[in-house]
Structure 1
Amino acid sequence: MLRATRRLACLAALGAGLGLAACASAPVSAQETVRSERGAFRVSEFATGLDRPWGAAFLPDGRMLVTERPGRLRLVARDGKLSPAIPGVPEVVAAGQGGLLDVALAPDFATTRQIYVCLAGAAEGGVLTRLATATLSPDMSRLEGTRTLLDAAPAQSSGRNHYGCRIAFGRDGKLFLSTGERFTNKPRAQDLADLGGKVLRLERDGRPAGGNPFLNRPGARPEIFTYGHRNPQGLAVNPATRSLIEIEFGAKGGDEVNLLRAGANYGWPLVSHGTDYDGSPIGTGRASAPGIEEPLRHWTPAISPSGGNFYAGGAFPAWQGNLFLAALNPPGLMRLTMDGDRVVAEERMLWGRTRFRQVLPGPDGLLYILTDETRGRILRLEPAP
Structure 2
Amino acid sequence: MALHKTFATLAVVAALVAAPVAHAESINAGGRMATAVQPFDAQSVAEFDTPWAIAFMPDGRMLITEKPGRIFVVTQSGRKVQVGNVPAVAARGQNGLLDIAVSPTFATTSQVYLTYTEPGAEGSRLVLTRAGLSLANDGATLTDPVVIWRQTPAGGGGQPGGIIAFDPAGTHLFLSVGDRMLPNSAQDPLQARGKVLRLNLDGSTPSDNPMAEDKGVPAQTWTTGHRNPYGLAFAADGRLWLHEMGPRGGDELNLIEPGRNYGWPLVSNGDNYDGTPIPRHATRPDLAAPPLYWDPVIAPAGLAFYDGAMFPQWKGSALIGGLRAHALVRVAFRADGQPDEAERWDMGERIRDVAVAPDGAVWIIEDSSSGRLRRLTPAK
TM range (shorter): 0.7 to 0.9
Aligned-partner residue type, residue 141 of structure 2: R
| Map of 2:286 onto structure 1 | 291
Q: Deviations over 1:85-137 (max 9, x none)?
A: 21111110001111100000110101110000000112452112110010001
| Map of 1:125 onto structure 2 | 122
May I ask how many residue pairs the two structures share in their alignment?
Answer: 345
Cα distance change, pair 73–220 in 1 and its aligned pair in 2 (3 A): closer
Tell me, yes or no, if structure 1 residue 150 matches structure 2 residue 149.
yes
Instruction: Choose from 270, 273, 280 the match for 2:276.
Output: 280
Aligned-partner residue type, residue 75 of structure 1: V
Report matched runs for 1:84-123 at 5 Å. Answer: 85-123=82-120
SS at 1:298 equivalent: strand
Distance (whole Å) between structure 2 residues aligned to residue 153 and residue 171 of structure 1:
28
SS at 2:342 equivalent: strand
- Is 1:124–1:155's contact at 8 Å kept on the other side of the alignment? no
Aligned-partner residue type, residue 276 of structure 1: N
Cα distance change, pair 88–336 in 1 and its aligned pair in 2 (3 A): same
Aligned-partner residue type, residue 55 of structure 1: A
SS at 2:132 equivalent: strand
Aligned-partner residue type, residue 321 of structure 1: G
Instruction: Choose from 201, 204, 213 the match for 1:204.
Output: 201
| Map of 1:363 onto structure 2 | 358
Distance (whole Å) between structure 2 residues aligned to residue 286 and residue 212 of structure 1:
26
Distance (whole Å) between structure 1 residues aligned to residue 225 and residue 298 of structure 2:
20
Distance (whole Å) between structure 1 residues aligned to residue 119 and residue 173 of structure 2:
23
SS at 1:188 equivalent: helix
Cα distance change, pair 138–220 in 1 and its aligned pair in 2 (3 A): closer
Cα distance change, pair 336–87 in 1 and its aligned pair in 2 (3 A): same
Instruction: Choose from 253, 270, 277 the match for 2:266.
Output: 270
| Map of 2:238 onto structure 1 | 242
| Map of 1:5 onto structure 2 | none
- Is 2:35–2:345's contact at 8 Å kept on the other side of the alignment? no
Distance (whole Å) between structure 1 residues aligned to residue 106 and residue 35 of structure 2:
44
| Map of 2:309 onto structure 1 | 314
Give, in angstroms, the shift of residue 285 of structure 1.
Answer: 5.5
Cα distance change, pair 316–76 in 1 and its aligned pair in 2 (3 A): same
- Is 2:211–2:218's contact at 8 Å kept on the other side of the alignment? yes
Cα distance change, pair 344–301 in 1 and its aligned pair in 2 (3 A): closer
Tell me, yes or no, if structure 1 residue 372 matches structure 2 residue 367.
yes
Give, in angstroms, the shift of residue 218 of structure 1.
Answer: 6.7
SS at 1:357 equivalent: strand
Distance (whole Å) between structure 2 residues aligned to residue 95 and residue 237 of structure 1:
30
Q: Deviations over 1:31-67 (max 9, x none)?
A: xxx43xxxx211111222x011111111111110000
Q: Deviations over 1:68-96 (max 9, x none)?
A: 0000000101311111x211111100011
Q: Deviations over 1:226-282 (max 9, x none)?
A: 01000111001011x201100100011110000001010000000000011122113
Instruction: Choose from 36, 55, 77 the match for 2:75.
Output: 77
Aligned-partner residue type, residue 41 of structure 1: F
SS at 1:262 equivalent: coil
Distance (whole Å) between structure 1 residues aligned to residue 152 and residue 60 of structure 2:
36
Give, in angstroms, the shift of residue 138 of structure 1.
Answer: 3.7
Report matched runs for 1:332-347 at 5 Å. Answer: 332-339=327-334, 341-347=337-343
Aligned-partner residue type, residue 312 of structure 1: D
| Map of 1:179 onto structure 2 | 177
TM-score by structure 1 length? 0.86
Tell me, yes or no, if structure 1 residue 55 matches structure 2 residue 53.
yes
Structure 1: gaps spanning 5 or more residues: 1-18, 24-33
Q: Percent identity?
A: 41
- Is 1:247–1:305's contact at 8 Å kept on the other side of the alignment? yes
Instruction: Quote the RMSD (CA, aligned, Å).
Output: 1.7
| Map of 1:4 onto structure 2 | none
Q: Which has the higher contact order (CA 8 A, sep 6+)?
A: 2
| Map of 1:14 onto structure 2 | none
Stretches (4+) displaced over 6 A: none
Instruction: Choose from 222, 226, 231 the match for 2:228.
Output: 231
Distance (whole Å) between structure 1 residues aligned to residue 216 and residue 76 of structure 2:
49
- Is 1:228–1:268's contact at 8 Å kept on the other side of the alignment? yes
- Is 2:192–2:217's contact at 8 Å kept on the other side of the alignment? no
Give, in angstroms, the shift of residue 22 of structure 1.
Answer: 7.0
Give, in angstroms, the shift of residue 344 of structure 1.
Answer: 3.9
- Is 1:306–1:326's contact at 8 Å kept on the other side of the alignment? yes
- Is 2:281–2:289's contact at 8 Å kept on the other side of the alignment? no
| Map of 1:260 onto structure 2 | 256
Tell me, yes or no, if structure 1 residue 168 matches structure 2 residue 165.
yes
- Is 2:114–2:130's contact at 8 Å kept on the other side of the alignment? yes
- Is 1:307–1:325's contact at 8 Å kept on the other side of the alignment? yes
Give, in angstroms, the shift of residue 354 of structure 1.
Answer: 0.4
